[in-house]
Copies of this chain bind each other. A is one copy, B any other.
Amino acid sequence: MSPRVSLCDVPSVSAAPASWLDTIIKGDCVAALEALPAHSVDVIFADPPYNLQLGGDLMRPDQSMVNAVDDHWDQFASFEAYDAFTRAWLLACRRVLKPNGTIWVIGSYHNIFRVGSSLQDIGYWLLNDIVWRKTNPMPNFRGRRFQNAHETMIWASRDQNAKGYTFNYEALKAANDDVQMRSDWLFPICTGGERLKGDDGKKVHPTQKPEALLARILMASSKPGDVILDPFFGSGTTGAVARRLGRHFVGIEREQEYIDAARARIDAVEPLGKAELTVMTGKRAEPRVAFNVLMESGHIKPGEVLHDARRRHKAIVRADGTIFANGQAGSIHKIGALVQGFDACNGWTFWHTDRSEGLKPIDDLRSIVRADMARAS
């Protein structure tokens, strides 16, 4: 845990393990990075402040308050200030990165465009942007925007012409039902037993990342024995996953509270054996097809009339993806319930198209769309 190590330009294939390996360095990330040897790190994962720029409090519809990220470390005076901060830590990271090393940075639309531009300006070479799709994101409570259901990660090499960075293409493909791993990943946010909580039962860190996300990142872009650096260590997810996967880690963190929690967490991790390190991960099911998908894919057209199985009721499809009957518009479920006088209805089985083959439930069309999607992917 001593940040003061002798500077050396050896590409870190030294025999004796460095003293800063598998430790958490307390302090400012730029200063700590500058005390590390150059070209000593294989992969960097960085989860910097997002610069959320929140206004006042936000209330849920039930009048409970949303626990906002309003910590002091997320406050920046301007885009210029945030850019200066971003450039500083990205430059310091680039110095400690091996020539064939890569960096991952995660962010939201508040900051990721600043980060991406800075990466390019500094000389990093973008390899991919990866979308983390959340299975269970927070809703948009006011109904004035789309639900913010993803975050973006940028994967970049140190230089445009960097050769030989690690990318375990074959392993990823094998783990992904023998098709290459895409740039959109589906994971739940970190909740339940994985989420670190203090004695008061409250979450230790406001933005703890799920281990599954880090596991895929490290399995994809590093090898056992590699050195993984996280300049915004927080609750230590990067360290915990690195240790479990047989990688070395270096964390940098300013807050003692986070350091203590991270160290205890990492100490409790049982590293996997060599055999188990081969491969993991897999595809998550995602069969949901909403009614608008049927329209957008051309299987149902605006103006078409839908019937129930006995032709007692009918409804007209509109371009916005709602259907119209009895003077009211709404979802296939709502209108299905309305015309029957019920509280609820499964519109997929209730409503039918009436074409040359006769009445067919619209659920049949959904099956076709699902088959198309499966064949295409």
List the interface of chain A (C-beta within 8 A of B): 59, 63, 79, 108-110, 112-117, 119-121, 126-131, 133, 135-137, 139-140, 143-150, 152, 154-155, 167-178, 180-184, 186-188, 212, 215-216, 219-220, 245, 272-273, 275-280, 282, 288, 290-293, 295-298, 302-303, 316-322, 324, 329-334, 340, 342-345, 372-373, 376-377
- Knowing A168-B320, A171-B322 are in contact, say whether A177-B333 is a contact too (CB < 8 A): yes
Given contacts A133-B184, A275-B318, contact A280 B174 (CB under 8 A): no
The CA of A345 and the CA of B64, in the complex, are separated in Å by: 11
Among A127, A148, A296, max chain B CB count under 10 A is at A296
Give how many copies assemble into the complex: 2
Give the distance to chain B from A311, nearest Cβ to Cβ, in Å. 18
A181 CA to B331 CA, complexed, in Å: 13
Which of chain B's residues has its CB closest to A329's CB?
B280
Known contacts A127-B145, A245-B319, A187 near B296 by CB under 8 Å: yes
Provide the residues of chain B in CB contact with A136, threshold 8 Å.
Answer: 376-377
- Asked if A174 contacts B319 (CB within 8 A), the reply is no
Q: Which residues of B contact A288 (CB under 8 A)?
A: 177
Closest 7 CB pairs of A and B: A175-B321, A113-B116, A175-B292, A212-B296, A149-B182, A171-B320, A109-B129
Cα-based distance from A249 to B231 in the complex (angstroms): 48
A81 to chain B, nearest CB (A): 13
Q: Are A178 and B331 in contact (CB under 8 A)?
A: yes
What residue of chain B has the Cβ atom nearest to residue A59's Cβ?
A: B344
Nearest B residue (CB) for A63:
B342
Q: Is the CB of A177 within 8 A of B376?
A: no
Instruction: Verify B146–A182 contact, CB threshold 8 A.
Output: yes
Complex: how many Å from CA A220 to CA B146?
9
Q: Which of B109, B297, B319, B344 contacts A277 (CB 8 A)?
A: B319
| Cα distance A137–B373 in the bound complex, in angstroms | 12
CB distance from A39 to the nearest CB of B (A): 22
CB-CB < 8 A to A331: which residues of B? 173-175, 177-178
Nearest CB of chain B from residue A156's CB, rounded to whole Å: 10
Known contacts A145-B167, A174-B322, then 4 further A-B pairs from the complex at CB < 8 Å, ordered by chain A residue = A79-B121, A178-B331, A277-B319, A280-B330
Cβ–Cβ < 8 Å partners of A212 in chain B? 296-298
Say whether, besides A120-B79, A180-B143, A296-B212, A316 and B275 are in contact (CB < 8 Å): yes
Asked whether, in the complex, the Cβ of B149 is within 8 Å of the Cβ of A126, the reply is no
Given contacts A135-B376, A322-B175, contact A149 B216 (CB under 8 A): no
Query: Of all chain B residues, which has the CB nearest A188?
Result: B376
Q: Give A144 to B219 CA distance when docked, in angstroms.
A: 14
